[in-house]
């Protein structure tokens, strides 16, 4: 039998990150670590906007946005047990930035603070969520330390959905159901899951995912009126990059195996391909999902030309 190592926990986090601001926040701000945090929370990729971002006389450890939705995110780090000071800070920062996703990362969560976060999630509006996480470090023998995020408290999406689903229009309810089933379908596609992280479905006509850059992202769309579904690269505030995509329109079309439209708007631009399909016919949903997954992998190939 092969020899096996023993796993042990590093109890003093400051052995690895002596200072929260200079060491831990700097480490967490790296794209690969924010991506791991995003996957743990089940949200879109976290795109850093600013470290030590100011709110009045105070500074937020990390200020970011969610890829695809642009929801504002604040992250407060504490390499110590939770305390009332930091609880007050995250509420102050959330208000100052109008954040929709609030993340509090700590060494140890006290029960009274866990209850406070649970209460905030239960009483705040549906599109605001508070996350309380513990950060741990583990090691096997003399291996490099491995970080692990443990969710202590998170928004109860199921409960909030029950509170709001009755207020949805028929179209919005259909969109939510469609994207929920898409997430279930896509999660079983191995090649797709190797490249993409799935987001929480929303009652809207689009579903967005990261392509590994903050310059643009991938979106799937449904149009119940015209009975069309679409897949597109969405480019915010960058006409120069949009023009580069348009210059390679024929090449992109050959990769996708489908016609491509370059759609220019005042601020944001899109590289779009469409497919005729009516999502009101639920028997065709798997066909739509298969097409989305195929286009996603091909758009990933396209995006690599511009990263």
Beta strands 46-55; 58-66: pairing state: antiparallel
Question: Is the pLDDT score of 158 beyond 70?
Answer: no
Per-residue DSSP letter, 198: P
Look at residue 16 and tell me whether its pLDDT is greater than 70. Answer: yes
User: How far is 280 from 85, CA to CA, in rounded Å?
Assistant: 51
How many other CB atoms sit within 10 Å of the CB of residue 87?
Answer: 19
Q: How far apart are the first and last CA of the chain?
A: 46
pLDDT tens, residue by residue, 234-277: 988 888 999 999 999 999 999 999 999 999 877 778 999 999 99
How much of the chain, in percent, has pLDDT values that exceed 70?
Answer: 94
Residue 161 has pLDDT above 50, yes or no: no
Mean pLDDT to the nearest integer, 62-89:
90
Q: What is the pLDDT of residue 257?
A: 94
SS3 96: helix
Q: Which tokens go with 296?
A: 């996603």
Q: Alpha helices, DSSP H only, in the chain?
A: 26-28, 31-41, 84-97, 111-123, 157-164, 170-186, 190-193, 239-247, 249-256, 285-303
Residue 164 predicted with pLDDT over 70: no
Question: What are the two backbone dihedrals, phi and then psi, of residue 76, each rounded to the nearest 5 degrees?
Answer: -115, 125
Cα diameter, the chain: 65
Q: What is the rounded average pLDDT of the residues 107-112?
A: 94
> Beta 217-223 vs 228-236: how paired, if at all?
antiparallel
Contacts of 253 (CB under 8 A, 6+ apart): 259, 260, 273
pLDDT for res 58 = 84
Residue 184: both structure tokens together: 């279930």
Distance of alpha carbon 180 from alpha carbon 234, whole angstroms: 22
What pLDDT does 160 receive? Answer: 47
| Phi, psi angle pair for 146, to nearest 5° | -115, 125
Q: Please tell me the predicted confidence (pLDDT) of residue 162.
A: 41
What is the per-residue pLDDT for 159? 42
**d(C-alpha 254, C-alpha 233), whole Å:** 16
Q: What is the pTM of this model?
A: 0.59
Whole-number pLDDT of residue 1: 57
Starting at the edge strand found earlier in the chain, the sheet holding 206-210 runs 206-210, 217-223, 228-236, 268-276, 261-264
- Average pLDDT score, the chain: 88
Tokens of 171: 């179209």
SS3 state at 98: coil
260 exposed, middle or buried (CB, 10 Å; 0-12, 13-18, 19+)?
Answer: buried
Give the pLDDT band (50/70/90) at residue 167: low
For 22-58, write each residue's pLDDT tens digit: 999 999 999 889 988 988 887 777 889 999 888 888 8
């Amino acid at each position: 039998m092969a020899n096996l190592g023993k796993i042990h926990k590093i109890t003093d986090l400051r052995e690895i990150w002596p200072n929260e601001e200079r060491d831990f926040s700097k480490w967490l701000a790296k794209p690969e670590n924010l991506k791991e945090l995003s996957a743990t929370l089940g949200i879109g990729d976290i795109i850093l906007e600013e470290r030590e971002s100011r709110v009045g006389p105070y500074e937020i450890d990390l200020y970011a946005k969610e890829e695809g939705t642009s929801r504002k995110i604040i992250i407060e780090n504490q390499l110590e047990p939770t305390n009332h000071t930091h609880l007050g800070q995250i509420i102050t920062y959330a208000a100052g930035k109008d954040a929709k996703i609030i993340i509090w990362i700590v060494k140890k969560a006290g029960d009274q603070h866990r209850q406070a976060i649970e209460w905030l999630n239960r009483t705040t509006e549906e599109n605001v969520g508070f996350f309380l996480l513990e950060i741990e470090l583990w090691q096997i023998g003399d291996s490099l330390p491995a970080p692990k995020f443990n969710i202590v408290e998170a928004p109860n999406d199921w409960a909030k959905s029950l509170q709001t689903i009755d207020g949805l229009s028929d179209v919005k309810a259909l969109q939510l159901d469609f994207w929920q089933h898409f997430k279930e379908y896509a999660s079983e596609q191995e090649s797709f899951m190797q490249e993409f992280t799935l987001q929480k479905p929303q009652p809207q006509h689009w579903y967005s995912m990261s392509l590994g850059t903050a310059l643009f992202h991938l979106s799937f769309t449904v149009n119940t009126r015209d009975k069309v579904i679409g897949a597109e690269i969405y480019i915010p505030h960058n006409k120069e990059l949009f023009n580069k995509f348009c210059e390679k329109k024929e090449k992109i079309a050959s990769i996708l195996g489908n016609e491509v439209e370059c759609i220019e708007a005042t601020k944001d631009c899109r590289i779009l391909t469409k497919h005729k399909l009516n999502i009101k016919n639920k028997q065709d949903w798997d066909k739509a999902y298969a097409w989305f997954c195929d286009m996603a992998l091909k758009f990933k190939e396209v995006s690599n030309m511009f990263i």
